[in-house]
Amino acid sequence: MKTLLTAASAAALLAFQAPAYAEDLEFLLVNDSSADLVEFNVSPASSDNWEGNLMEGGYLAPGYEIGVLIADGATTCVYDIRGSFADGSEAEDYGLDLCDLGEYTFTD
């Protein structure tokens, strides 16, 4: 009986640790478009509003990549992404599992 309780306790501990993994998300953002990426927003898919511009004061030129860290404390993996470019174009993508994604690429 003691072995069963120990196994159950370990399983419960792992269950509580799993959401903590989702708190800090890292992925590679790649700009394979023909224009500078001048605004980049990432928001939880459950939100009706876009979070702040992660590129504020900067840009990501075509052919370049940058690491993105989302440390918003959320326990979700599913986010929406929006990019705005220097040529006035925009791109939006919804319901992305950033825990599994690893990389997101903007293209024309």
pLDDT of amino acid 45: 93
Q: What is the pLDDT of residue 99?
A: 86
Q: Measured between alpha carbons, how far is 70 from 101 in angstroms, rounded to an integer? A: 13
- Quick check: helix, strand or coil at residue 53? coil
- Kindly state the percentage of the chain with pLDDT values over 70: 79
pLDDT band at 103 (very low <50, low <70, confident <90, very high): very high
**Which CATH class name applies to 23-107?**
mainly beta
Q: Could you give the residue ranges of the DSSP H alpha helices within 1-108?
A: 2-21, 98-101
Can you give the pTM of this predicted structure? 0.74
Distances (CA, A) of 13 to 8, 16, 21, 75, 89: 9, 5, 13, 16, 46
Domain spans of the chain? 23-107
Q: Give every CB contact of residue 37 below 8 A, 6+ residues apart in sequence.
A: 29, 31, 55, 59, 60, 61, 83, 84, 85, 86, 106
